[in-house]
Amino acid sequence: MERRSVAAARLAGLLLLVLAGLVVIPAASGRTLAAGPSGNGALPQLVVLSNRADLVSGGDALVQVVLPDRVDPSSVQVSLNGTDVTPAFGVRAGGAYEGVVTGLANGPNDLVATMGNAPPVHLTITNHPSGGPVFAGPQVQPWVCETFAGFPAPTDDQCDGPATFSFAYMDAGTHTFQPYDPGSPPAPAQIASTTTDQGVTVPYIVRSEHGAMDRGLYDVTVLDDPSASWAPWASQSGWNHKVLYQFGGGTAPWHTNGRPQNDVIDLALSRGFMVANNNLNIRGDDGNDVVSAESLMMLKEHIAETYGSIRYTIGSGCSGGSIQQYVIAADYPGLLDGIQPNCSFQDSWTTANEVNDCHLLRHYFSTAGLTAAQQAAVMDVHDPGVCLAWDVSFAPVGIPSLVSNCHLQGTTFAGDVYDPVSNPGGVRCDLQDYQSAIWGFRPSDGFARSPFANAGVQYGLAALNAGTISPDQFVALNQGVGGTDIDLNFTAERAQPDLVAQSIAYRTGQVTNGVQLANVPIIDLRGSEHLFNDIHTDYHSYVMRARLDAANGGHANQLIWTWEGALFNIVPPPSVALKSFLTIDAWLSAIESDARAVPLSQKVLDDKPATATDECFLGGTLTETTDASTCNAAFPHFGDARLGAGEPLTDNAMQCVLKPLDPSDYSVTFTAAQWTALQQAFPDGVCDWTQPPVGSQPSLPWLTFAGGPGGQPLGPAPVSHPGPPGP
């Protein structure tokens, strides 16, 4: 009962703000009050519990009829589009009058509650197809629905199919998960038991639901009694109503579905957590963070309608999985309550600046004759091998003619991919075209807009001022580095900014803004790569910290935990992973129990566990220390080429504001010939890093791209009202 009352209080408070147009209700945020508040008149209220009423998908919704005081529920009739659905409702545990309304048509639906002689109360529920989209805008085409063992075979071109189920048990002897057949179960002694963090002891059997949603494939795994059923108002006792949500690494513009991550994770399941993900939350399958947010929201709605209300959701994931956590928590607040970004990047597009700059610099250095130490100084890295790793692994994602980027090799659509000569109107397999619902298209050629630019960037400025490269080398570098065009071809000229794309980058939060992140506990897990030539360099954690400082005046909600990683093996050691999981769980539990009428950001700070602070884990013994100087000495962090060009640690400029060249900006004196050459290299000026980036503006949370690129705020959630149907 306490869990339901906490969620009720949260949602009731949010409803008041929504009516004032101040906030958007996060999806699947919990239940409302079991009985109507005093003074609400003689009319019931209709509330969708599983999502916002205008973001529902899949044809069903968990609904509560909030009744006036002392009203007999048997006097209430509920209809959907004129059809009686009253039998779907009942008085549930705790006294709430709830039901799962099914049969919603795509588009607006009129749900009506009537009571005696009172006027009918209407709520418009807008349903979207189970295959999407909801708010992510037009879906990319073509799309291939692949079939995977254990998952539903697609029944339509949206990859839909009925869910399948599998079971596993924890073997008491081997402590490993083994397949469980409900029709022929093992002997009870073979099945281990587990006690959840709620003190409930159950046989350690889990059920995995495998389904299709938003054109991807999902998995939901939870402790389960195979002989019992589930209902959203009668969850099985093994679930603690918390969710660990997995995000996966990489970045790619796949035009197919894929297999989600395995959710059979002992760390979480043994404590009563549900574990879930969609393959669209693997960034190596789906390089569109808005689609990732949409699929997360849709799956949380399904969980609420099928299994019960969610107390809070914790994110986890490395690399591209960290990007999704940061971007979704910032742009679609409420979907993730706490995050654990591992081997983190601050967002995709400013990280792409690093990739593109490495691509340019390596091309220039191939003939320039700079030493490895000089190259590293220009790149602001420990070793130029970092840029080699970026260039080899991720620069090709920007080549639109690579069939493998779209994952269409071997399909009937492989021949439809873009070629600048033979098929200029073909499918473009690059990131911006995959995200065209966000960016829109260039009028000149119909290709998706890109925010990348490097006009005015003085590569190697810090190396010049430190004396690592000479004035001649600095001038030659900036004369010769050039840029890339929309097809990632090298150009002699710098890449000029698309001003429309620049504004969209900030407005939509594709460049992550830290404002909404103040409402989220963050444990940034950093397996240090400072000695290895891997792309997951340590400074990215501190870039996000700088953005939190810039947005909120502090970063006390972000912890950075560092240990010695190994090349391409930066998964947290088990002890670190466990400590992070338990710490963020305790943090969120304290926030959940905090009933004060103060901003959530204040609760995040006030309710942080006393032991939750920055720390590092030293050596093979993982000796813990919170001493900052010790950690900084053991794990130094470097930067990227734009930081080496003078950009501040926020590292958030897709394109800088330009200013005239000024000799006083340099620690060296240029000759007249060098200065003339520098002026020719920068005819429009150089970056003024004291100014906000071109197009910079506050990001807007909860944008929908259904109406076109650039997005529009969703606005207040629909609420029920007496009188005729409609908003």
- Res. 25: pLDDT tops 90: no
Sequential DSSP letters for 503-532: HHHHHTTSS--STGGGGS-EEEEEEE-TTS
Closest CA to 550 of 510, 521, 523, 515: 515
- Res. 500: pLDDT tops 90: yes
- Res. 2: pLDDT tops 70: no
SS3 per residue for 123-152: EEEEEECCCCCCCCCCCCCCCECCCCCCCC
- Strands of the sheet with 61-66, listed across from one edge: 45-48, 61-66, 97-101, 89-91
Contacts of 610 (CB under 8 A, 6+ apart): none
Identify the band that residue 532 occupies on the pLDDT scale cut at 50, 70 and 90: confident
What is the chain's mean pLDDT, rounded?
93
Instruction: Give kind and range of the element (H or E) at residue 350.
Output: helix 349-368
* Cα distance between residue 521 and residue 515, in whole Å: 13
pLDDT of residue 621: 93
Q: What percent of the chain has pLDDT over 70?
A: 94
**Span 425-436, average pLDDT:** 98
- Looking at mean pLDDT, say which of 40-49, 257-266, 569-578 comes out highest: 257-266
pLDDT of residue 568: 53
pLDDT of residue 3: 40
- Res. 22: pLDDT tops 50: no
Lowest mean pLDDT across 27-36, 57-66, 104-113, 588-597: 27-36
Give the architecture (CATH level 2) of 2-132+715-722: Sandwich (2.60)
Closest CA to 514 of 296, 327, 704: 327
Where does 164-342 sit in CATH, by number?
Answer: 3.40.50
* Cα distance between residue 235 and residue 458, in whole Å: 59
Cis peptide bond prior to 133, omega within 30° of 0: yes
**Span 260-268, average pLDDT:** 98
* Cα distance between residue 348 and residue 391, in whole Å: 15
Domain ranges of the chain: 2-132+715-722, 164-342, 349-508+641-704, 527-555+563-634
- Res. 10: pLDDT tops 60: no
- Res. 18: pLDDT tops 50: no
Lowest mean pLDDT across 15-24, 80-89, 198-207: 15-24
CA angle 564, 566, 570 (to 5 degrees): 80
Task: Tell me how far the alpha carbon of residue 164 is from its chain's centroid.
Answer: 26
Q: What percent of the chain has pLDDT over 90?
A: 90
* Cα distance between residue 503 and residue 470, in whole Å: 37
Lowest mean pLDDT across 177-186, 261-270, 522-531, 583-592: 522-531
Query: Per the structure block, which two tokens stand in for 421?
Result: 């000569």
**Span 489-495, average pLDDT:** 98
**Span 532-559, average pLDDT:** 96
**Span 173-199, average pLDDT:** 98
Identify the band that residue 41 occupies on the pLDDT scale cut at 50, 70 and 90: low
* Cα distance between residue 561 and residue 576, in whole Å: 9
**Span 421-448, average pLDDT:** 98
- Res. 251: pLDDT tops 70: yes
Q: Quick: pLDDT tens for 364-402.
A: 999 999 999 999 999 999 999 999 999 999 999 999 999
pLDDT of residue 7: 42
Identify the band that residue 569 occupies on the pLDDT scale cut at 50, 70 and 90: low
Instruction: Give kind and range of the element (H or E) at residue 99.
Output: strand 97-101
Q: Quick: pLDDT tens for 623-675.
A: 999 999 999 999 999 999 999 999 999 999 999 999 999 999 999 999 999 99
